[in-house]
């Protein structure tokens, strides 16, 4: 089967560090793919390569068979990528609903002339409220971002990505900052969206939720791909266990 998003041979070097070394995988249409790995594995870097925020030293990317490696970020987004970043970046001067509405107006903002002659934001605001409801933060619709806790901001970030009507939704740790009741709920929402047709790439440290909703896993460790396949099979692999257990132990030792 041909992948909706295909990634081949991506290499990214920061100074002397190989953040990604010759990593490739395909995201099939309709997939809910978990991209996991210990801290510093290169997951976020991969997201940034996909969206064009980091230029890789090598590698090819394609959406639906169309090469996008040379396109600037905004063009890739218009081709169907929606990114929710690990480090939240809400527009500080806009309320939650305005933040999402801006993304919901992507068809208008794509053309400056259209943007110049269009005033009404009613439809986009409605859509924004619906999305805020969907991710469970409708109560914060009119709040400014600096008043909101991290769990809210992460979901705001996700609502904004959803407002782009993406073919591929890229989520970088959307469950971070959510409590034990909110996390499964948002995970269910993600699974629902996927069932309704959105292809999802999910980076997440909450492995319980990842194992519950993902049907495909790609594992990175130290910039290398060490696993790619069905969750149960991948997690049974000794190399993956070692990478994870090693870092778990380190984490415990550090704590």
Ligand X SMILES: Nc1ncnc2c1ncn2[C@@H]1O[C@H](COP(=O)(O)OP(=O)(O)OP(=O)(O)O)[C@@H](O)[C@H]1O
Residue 243 Ramachandran class (φ > 0 left, ψ -120 to 50 alpha, else beta): alpha
Locate 99 and state its tokens: 């933040």
Calculate Rg over the CA atoms of the chain.
Answer: 18
Q: Which residues bind other proteins (CB under 8 A)?
A: 51, 53, 72-74, 77-78, 83, 85, 89, 91-94, 98, 102-103, 105-106, 108-110, 112, 114-119, 121, 160, 164
Among 23, 26, 65, residue whose Cα is nearest residue 229: 26
Task: Tokens for 165, please give them.
Answer: 């009507």
Cβ proximity to ligand X: between 44 and 206 the closer is: 44
Comparing CB distances to ligand X, the nearer of 4 and 41 is 41
Distance CA 253, CA 118 (A): 57
What DSSP state is assigned to residue 255?
-
**Shortest Cβ 88–ligand X spacing (Å):** 13
Contact indicator for 171, 202 with CB cutoff of 8 Å: yes
Residue 176 partner contact from Mg ion, ligand X, other proteins, none using kind-dependent CB cut-offs of 5 to 8 Å: none
Closest CB 39 distance from ligand X, rounded Å: 4
Please tell me the count of residues contacting Mg ion according to CB under 5 A: 2
Q: Which residues contribute to the site for ligand X (CB under 6 A)?
A: 14, 17, 19, 37, 39-45, 86
98/173 with CB nearer ligand X: 173
Nearer to ligand X by C-beta: 203 or 235?
203
* Angle in degrees, CA 114, 169, 120, rounded to 5: 25
Q: Which does 59 bind (CB under 5 to 8 A by kind): other proteins, Mg ion, ligand X, none?
A: none
Q: Which does 17 bind (CB under 5 to 8 A by kind): ligand X, Mg ion, other proteins, none?
A: ligand X
Residue from 175, 206, 146 nearest 84 by CA: 175
Q: Tokens in use for 242? A: 């070692």
| Residues forming the site for Mg ion (CB under 5 A) | 44, 86
């Amino acid at each position: 089967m041909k992948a909706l998003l295909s990634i081949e041979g991506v290499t990214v070097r920061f100074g002397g560090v190989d953040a990604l070394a010759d990593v490739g995988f395909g995201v099939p249409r309709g997939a809910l793919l978990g991209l996991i790995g210990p801290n510093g594995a290169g997951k976020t870097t991969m997201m940034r390569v996909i969206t064009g925020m980091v230029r890789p030293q090598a590698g090819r990317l394609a959406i639906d068979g169309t090469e996008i490696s040379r396109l600037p970020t905004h063009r890739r987004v218009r081709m169907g990528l929606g990114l929710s970043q690990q480090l939240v970046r809400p527009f500080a001067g806009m309320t939650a609903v305005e933040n999402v509405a801006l993304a919901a107006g992507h068809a208008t903002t794509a053309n400056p002339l259209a943007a110049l002659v269009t005033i009404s934001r009613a439809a986009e605001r409605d859509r924004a409220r619906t999305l805020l409801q969907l991710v469970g933060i409708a109560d914060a619709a009119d709040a400014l971002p600096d008043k909101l806790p991290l769990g809210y901001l992460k979901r705001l970030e996700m609502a904004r990505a959803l407002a782009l009507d993406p073919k591929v939704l890229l989520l970088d740790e959307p469950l971070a900052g959510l409590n034990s009741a909110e996390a499964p709920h948002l995970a269910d929402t993600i699974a629902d969206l996927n069932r309704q047709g959105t292809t999802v790439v999910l980076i997440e440290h909450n492995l319980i939720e990842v194992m519950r909703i993902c049907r495909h896993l790609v594992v990175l460790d130290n910039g290398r791909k060490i696993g790619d396949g069905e969750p149960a099979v991948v997690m049974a692999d000794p190399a993956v266990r070692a990478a994870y257990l090693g870092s778990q132990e380190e984490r415990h030792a550090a704590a």
